[in-house]
Structure 1
């Protein structure tokens, strides 16, 4: 029987200003914000450039001086403040610090999640971030440099009779929401197929174009539950005055996440530079501080990896 982890709340003392919880700024805009030494409310001072690591960056990227980063609003990994300030959150801060070590600035563009991979492939962005899972399907077309690990959970209203989901088919008969194009949506569809094969009640999956709209659907009673990363759910819970609770999914996959890079002639070289910069920040404790500040310390890894290990 799975316990409901209501205690997994995020410490967000350094987030300045009011951030609308469920309706937070929708991830379908086109805002862009440049950051160098500082960015957004609560942003830490940028790490110092490390010359030996910066020298690893391909000339095609170093000459631009700024990485254009695609990200969908997904608190607490990516937070788009309602006052128009620079996007922030733990994954945005990770990227800022990695870029600083490489001698680069970042320009974060808030875009719809389901357009990120296509945008990378089209060359519109240099990289993407936002707790994006390194799934097998994505690894066929893009490259990840990991800096974090994640897992999924179920978010339900506080008064819901759903208190556990020890098996995937425990979701049969529910209407579940997930973000369009997400690994959570794919997971829910897979379970829906298993419910059908087992002759159980239908699992209905509804997808929405942003995490904010997923949360709105749950709050409005249009769905029974929402599948999201555990850290995102914990953030919502911390902001919602006990409106929701978290239900573990012990059978759900664990995922590696990190900076996502398009495939081109410089990918291998740039990925290695990012990997070394990430390891530098893991060793000096900077990434741990970011996760402690923004994500309750969840998801720290021992070392960065380049995935897939070979692009063929």
Structure 2
């Protein structure tokens, strides 16, 4: 298996078909601030005593991890009836915690508040296809379990039919989530357009992916930049309103379980890494991705970013 599991934008038709099977109650247009619910303890995933013994005592004694996540289907799906959030990244973290003998309480929060909340000690971790960028790994620690790539979502009938080069997007209005890697990418492209003397790009950011999608649906922007799996999910739920445009030049990202920096981080990250590797090896994480994400994005070994001792 390749490390990136062919995470370039291949088999996207399969992704659309797969995520369409996710329950229709998923609130792909919702945006909550601070709602929470307790996830099931791993859907039958068994505790591994040797890995549980690696968990710092302060965390083991607490027993339940408070995990921040922004609604971002199919990674984080918030049911419309307020039930327990699900999605491939929620289930990933749920099972990883179960191997360590822990439970998970998911708090749905705005994306741009997640890193600050980790730094303030409000959460024990975070999830939701959060990209491990150089800027983020300066302040928080990632334990990877997935690889991702960006794509562009445009309305059917859009003049944007291809983006073989990033400057093909000059002159358009792009939307992205506030504080996201996609927003930074859009700003970078806007700078290249200015330097090349081309028509300007206007970048608009919104406080949730749901509002990004609403802006696109309402014609306030020409295109939205987000992960390929998120684009495919929205396409599957909106009955032919949108289409996907590949971005072959876009960076590929590692994503995973995000941890705050404190005295327990180094030891806890190693426990999370061991639990993740266990679930990769026994096939459980692949089954989750098969269920929600057409099997895309699994890596062969978990990685701690930045590597221990590099801070």
TM interval, shorter chain, is over 0.9
| Aligned residue in 2 for 1:117 | 115
Deviations 1:276-301 (A, max 9, x none): 00000000000000000001111011
Residue 183 and residue 308 in structure 1: after superposition, are their counterparts in 2 closer, same or farther (change >3 A)? same
| Aligned residue in 2 for 1:41 | none
4+ residue segments displaced more than 3 Å: 3-6, 12-17
| Aligned residue in 2 for 1:283 | 281
Q: Does 1:169 align with 2:163?
A: no
2: distance between equivalents of 1:17 and 1:252?
30
Q: Does 1:133 align with 2:140?
A: no
Q: How many residues align?
A: 302
Deviations 1:159-192 (A, max 9, x none): 1121110111111000000000000000000110
Q: 2:78 aligns with which of 77, 80, 84?
A: 80
Q: 2:16 aligns with which of 1, 9, 14?
A: 9
The CA RMSD over aligned residues, in Å, is: 1.7
Residue 141 and residue 6 in structure 1: after superposition, are their counterparts in 2 closer, same or farther (change >3 A)? closer
Q: Is the 8 A contact 1:154 1:228 kept in 2?
A: yes
Deviations 1:197-220 (A, max 9, x none): 110000000000000000000000
2: distance between equivalents of 1:203 and 1:13?
32
2: distance between equivalents of 1:286 and 1:110?
24
2: distance between equivalents of 1:215 and 1:143?
29
| Aligned residue in 1 for 2:227 | 229
| Aligned residue in 1 for 2:26 | 19
1: distance between equivalents of 2:216 and 2:265?
40
- CA displacement at 1:15 relative to structure 2: 3.4
- Equivalence map 1:11-160=2 (5 Å): 11-12=18-19, 15-21=22-28, 23=29, 25-26=30-31, 28-37=32-41, 45-160=43-158
Q: Is the 8 A contact 2:71 2:128 kept in 1?
A: yes
Residue 5 and residue 165 in structure 1: after superposition, are their counterparts in 2 closer, same or farther (change >3 A)? farther
Per the normalisation by structure 1, the TM-score is: 0.93
2: distance between equivalents of 1:165 and 1:152?
12
Secondary structure of 2:300's aligned partner: coil
Q: Is the 8 A contact 1:5 1:247 kept in 2?
A: no
